Structure 1
């Protein structure tokens, strides 16, 4: 049992600041797959030569991001799974700048005996000087080893039936055996993603890719398909993306991203090709602007 429900819900929000450079924006783009194809003009916008023309919207997920162990939640970190991730982009993130984030607990649910609890958090990110809001990031953590006294029970979710039509777009995205080390340079140095012995203790055959890296990869290539040319909406940009982490990705795997177009964006799903394992599910993308 960890702290009680009221104390979690009334926690003081965590405020962080971070300055980032054009080099950081390029590094993030590289870490989520831009640059695989040297002839890709869309990717080159995010890679330079320095400074790049634009920043990937999902870079907001790694800016001024506090680590769970620093938030005094009282949870057993070894029992935590990153369940879902979402983001709404409020304004275009500049190539370089200084941002402030405010992270708070949004809701807590009890998952039942032996199943722990679910903690949902929101991180709002704005420009430190102008206060312009850039993004809101939503995170769900499954705390398998802990329950919260007084938390409401988690309602059973009902997944809406999806149509069975084939996807409108399918993109295969190779990752590198260095993908996790590269993504770690954006801020998350958890050894689970880099050290084989740590991954083995957690029950994995090798280090796994950061969930937020998988999310960023899906966000980048969904935006490329929907906004980057061809059948895309010129001038459009990623407005929001959300989904569920269904299984880990191992660096070096090829990821297949499937997109089903919808009036304002797309439904998406990603799978590890060799294992035929869905790794990112229930995905939704919204596009702002464009035709």
Structure 2
């Protein structure tokens, strides 16, 4: 069996220093569409967009934590952990949970600790949960849990894990917005550190079962959080406390995301779909908690 659950869970955590600059933050924001918000007139110079793109007034969207310092640790790094030997073409990002302990500085150095927190047997697939905890000299900054879905690697009789499915939101959404995805969006976003060829190489994408390269799930994740912050949280990135989602379907560059939001007390339920494909689900079971 390519995944040795006992060995993977017993492995020592991997710890190392990471750092980022304002340029890294700006590149991430551009990679998720900052400066091109269709809801704003002249978005490239709108103050609401400049807070994501201009170094003199830079605010850090919390989802930057998924790429800070070392690129997308949830998929590529998780496959190099002890006890895990799987083919990259069988791997998909299944879900992401982010807890923000305090606002992320626009530049900094921190210590990141990575470990496999869980390995679940789903029968025809396995799910690896890679936990990344990051702290700087002033204390904890964020905790990331990436759920890595590995096709064809289950069936050893292990723990199936908890269900992450939620009941659908009730009633009509409080707000619905659309965000177009550029044809070159994945090529730009991958410069943030996720070099998986699934998002750029047509031959690799076909080998993985897709007609053409797909957008990074974490790019959709960032686009969605930005839409919530810009519309329901007054543009204040510091209000985000946690953000969780399940990747329910793929996005192809050139499509349009339809982002529906239901606002509650201290939380926003979100559903994201691909508008041109009959609102095919993209992100599900999505919650942003805020102060």
TM-score using structure 2 length: 0.89
The structure richer in helix per residue is: 2
Partner Cα distance (2:184, 2:67) in 1: 18
Moved more, 19-28 or 193-202: 193-202
Residue 32 (str. 1) matches residue 32 (str. 2): yes
- SS for the counterpart of 1:81 is strand
Partner residue, 2:110: 99
Residue 54 (str. 1) matches residue 59 (str. 2): yes
**How far 1:239 moved relative to its partner?**
1.3
**How far 1:256 moved relative to its partner?**
1.1
* Residues 129 and 146, structure 2, Cα contact 8 Å, conserved in 1: yes
Unmatched runs of 5 consecutive residues or more in structure 1: none
Residue 118 (str. 1) matches residue 127 (str. 2): yes
The alpha-carbon distance between structure 1 residues 101 and 201, as it changes in their structure 2 partners (threshold 3 A), is same
* Residues 76 and 145, structure 1, Cα contact 8 Å, conserved in 2: no
Partner Cα distance (1:99, 1:256) in 2: 35
Partner residue, 1:143: 150
- SS for the counterpart of 1:45 is helix
Partner Cα distance (1:23, 1:51) in 2: 12
* Residues 51 and 95, structure 1, Cα contact 8 Å, conserved in 2: no
Partner residue, 1:197: 203
**How far 1:20 moved relative to its partner?**
1.2
Count residues with an aligned counterpart: 278
- SS for the counterpart of 1:28 is helix
Partner Cα distance (1:103, 1:235) in 2: 25
Give per-residue Cα distances to partners, 1:231-282, cap 9 Å, x unaligned.
Answer: xxx6852111111101111112111111000101210011111112110011
Partner residue, 2:39: none
The alpha-carbon distance between structure 1 residues 120 and 274, as it changes in their structure 2 partners (threshold 3 A), is same
Residue 84 (str. 1) matches residue 91 (str. 2): no
Computed over aligned residues only, the root mean square deviation of the Cα atoms, in angstroms, reads: 2.0
**How far 1:131 moved relative to its partner?**
5.0
Partner residue, 2:15: 15
* Residues 23 and 51, structure 1, Cα contact 8 Å, conserved in 2: no
* Residues 28 and 189, structure 2, Cα contact 8 Å, conserved in 1: yes
Residue 185 (str. 1) matches residue 196 (str. 2): no
The alpha-carbon distance between structure 1 residues 24 and 158, as it changes in their structure 2 partners (threshold 3 A), is closer
Partner Cα distance (1:281, 1:32) in 2: 19
Unmatched runs of 5 consecutive residues or more in structure 2: 37-42
Partner Cα distance (1:189, 1:159) in 2: 29
Partner Cα distance (1:184, 1:93) in 2: 21
**How far 1:40 moved relative to its partner?**
3.7
Partner Cα distance (2:17, 2:60) in 1: 19
TM-score using structure 1 length: 0.89
The one of 159, 170, 194 equivalent to 1:164 is 170
* Residues 61 and 237, structure 2, Cα contact 8 Å, conserved in 1: no
Partner residue, 1:75: 86
- SS for the counterpart of 1:185 is helix
The alpha-carbon distance between structure 1 residues 30 and 82, as it changes in their structure 2 partners (threshold 3 A), is same
